[in-house]
Amino acid sequence: MKLGIVLATRADLATAAGLAHAARRARHEVVMFLMDAGVNAVAERPDIAIALLDDDCELTACSNSAVGLDLPDGIVRGSQDDHAAVLGTSDRVVALT
């Protein structure tokens, strides 16, 4: 199964990460799309982002939201098409927007 997570807030980063790691422990695929304050959240907590990447979660940030932000290597700067893909290809979506 594939879990899609959309993160667009700072406050929900811990929940997003907790669910993503739980899904990986259960051997589910995890794809995460970051936009708006969700991109700021991972820029401010690269340790959390790196742990997600190390756990084989796929992270894509909206490049429009990511302008001027340093993001850990491994986070793809993508577009809203990636957002559409996360919603369209995941078995369940958790939108933390």
Partner 1 sequence: MKILVYAHTSDPHRQSEALRAALGVTLRGAEVDVVLASEPLTPLAQRAATTLQAFGHTVGSNLGEVLDRADVVEVWGPERKGVRATCPAADGRPERRTLHLVRPNHVVAEGAVADGDDVVYLEGADHDLLLARIFTADRVITW
Residue ranges in contact with partner 1 by CB under 8 A: 1, 3, 6, 8-12, 15, 18-19, 21-23, 25-26, 28, 35-37, 64, 79-81, 83-85, 87-88, 91-97
Closest CA to 52 of 93, 94, 5: 5
- Longest alpha-carbon distance in the chain: 35
d(CA 92, CA 1) in angstroms, rounded, equals 8
Q: Which is nearer to partner 1, 54 or 64 (CB)?
A: 64
Q: Which is nearer to partner 1, 18 or 74 (CB)?
A: 18
Q: Which is nearer to partner 1, 54 or 84 (CB)?
A: 84
Instruction: Give the nearest distance from C-beta 72 to partner 1 in angstroms.
Output: 22
| DSSP H helices in the chain | 13-25, 37-44, 46-54, 80-89
Instruction: Give the nearest distance from C-beta 70 to partner 1 in angstroms.
Output: 21
Any idea what DSSP says for residue 45?
-
